[in-house]
Amino acid sequence: MAQRFLIELLSELKAEKGEAALERIAEEIVRLLAEDEQTEVRRFLESLELADVASVIEELPQGDDLTAIRLLSLHDQAELIGHFRASAQVSVAERLGKWELVSLMGAMSHDERADLFKQLDETAQEMLLPALSKAEREDLRRLSAHEEWTVGSVMTSDYAVLAPELTSTDAITALRRQALDAETIYYAYIIGESRELLGVVSLRDLLTAPPRQRVADIMDTEPVLVHVNDPQEAAARRVARYDLLALPVLDEDDRLVGIVTADDAMDVSEEEVTEDFHKGSTIQRFDMSVADATITKLYRARIFWLVLLVFGNIFSGAGIAYFEETIAAHLSLLFFLPLLIASGGNAGTQSATLMVRALATGDVRLRDFGRLLSREVAIAVALGVTMAAAVWLIGIWRGGIEVAIVVAIAMITIVLLGALIGMSLPFIFAILEKDPAAASGPLVTSLADVLGVIIYFTIASVLLI
């Protein structure tokens, strides 16, 4: 009965009814554990994908979550940990016994084990290292030594290798022996005596090759690859561009040291998009989820640009003060001020968003600036004229024909300028070897605001004298 009820709740969860279904599943599991119905819970958890198991267990209270984890096999536990959020991983690791944690980490994939190890505090790391095997310690030290945001920080050393003299039949047999320990066997890497990469062969090529054909005759001798100190985004872009399941990673001496798999590349791409979103809103980088970030961390991530932009917007106030006489003579001008500067900021943000994304995906390059600039002028003028027409009648109603003319001309000019600022800043940042994502959102809006105020009242001062 309990099993059927849980399955019904699971169907709700898969129908994307979300948190409510998760909470009800967690409540039912807590009840079953309290009644010592561990067999029921185990059967239910084993019927799920491990990604769903992780979501369920993260909803359980402390104590019950460990009980549920221990109902799974060690292999499933090791894979399950990789699906947890970083904070949940650390929480579970800190509450496991020393030898239980050692066994768990020994069963984890090399890259996920290194990620978990780096998140533990120094005391826990020092306690763990002596308990691990020599091979595991060396692997941890090697993978943990790479700087964050490099390819080395996301690679794994769980890869399949073959000797070049093997026949295709013998190679398939060798891959079968390595399958349990390797992250993937769809690609195998052929290495020399000094671990230099000689080539790459796919499982498909081995299966379709004549039985006695040598691996050396089948392999790709010029594979797509990255180096360990390259930015991790480079690996993600190459995996996506060439539709790869894995990408070999070489060290400074061109020796094979790991691979980046497609799922890790997807994680990197997700992190990069998140980082671009943050930069687009002038939020500085912080290395944790928003849910886990402290008040202090979020404050520090947001305060710098906010304070800087406050001082930038002082120029808007100075511009208004400078044209005080014009404003006093035509108070109706103030009615259109928020509308005009908001329109310039919006147009600029649109242009910046398009250019930032196009530069990030390679759809646009620096040499395209001149061609895109002329096109943006035409588009911005068309947008400005359309928006000016939309406010023309309001201008006549609020201030007469002269004010309407001022507003219309200002609208066209401000939208044009805002769009050009939004388009140009990402290119300027890229030329300066800065992330173009930092050139959008509040920065564009603030510049458009200041210039919009000056342009609007300058036009008013000239035409309304």
Partners of residue 191 on adjacent β-strands = 197
Cα separation, 181 vs 114, in Å, equals 16
- In the block, tokens 């970083």 appear at 86
Contact 145/195 with Cβ under 8 angstroms? Answer: no
Q: How many C-beta atoms lie closer than 10 Å to residue 51's C-beta?
A: 11
Average pLDDT, consecutive stretches of 10 residues, N- to C-terminus, the chain (465 residues): 58 57 81 85 85 86 89 89 84 86 84 82 81 78 78 87 92 90 88 89 92 92 92 88 91 89 83 65 60 70 70 73 78 83 87 82 82 90 90 81 88 91 87 73 81 87 80
pLDDT at 385: 92
pLDDT at 167: 93
Q: Which parts of 246-400 are beta strand (E)?
A: 246-250, 256-261
Domains in the chain, CATH or no CATH each: 2-146 (1.25.60.10), 160-278 (3.10.580.10), 312-463 (1.10.357.20)
Contact 102/120 with Cβ under 8 angstroms? Answer: no
Cα separation, 110 vs 143, in Å, equals 8
Q: Which helix (H) or strand (E) holds 51?
A: helix 50-58
Contact 435/279 with Cβ under 8 angstroms? Answer: yes
List of residues 6+ apart from 214 with CB closer than 8 A: 164, 165, 166, 167, 168
End-to-end CA distance of the chain: 85
Cα separation, 236 vs 225, in Å, equals 11
Tokens coding 54: 């992780």
Tokens coding 421: 């600022």
Output the 3-class SS for 102-115: HHHHHHCCHHHHHH
Cα separation, 432 vs 434, in Å, equals 5
Partners of residue 248 on adjacent β-strands = 259
**Which among 67, 69, 133, 70 is positioned nearest to 106, based on CA atoms?**
133
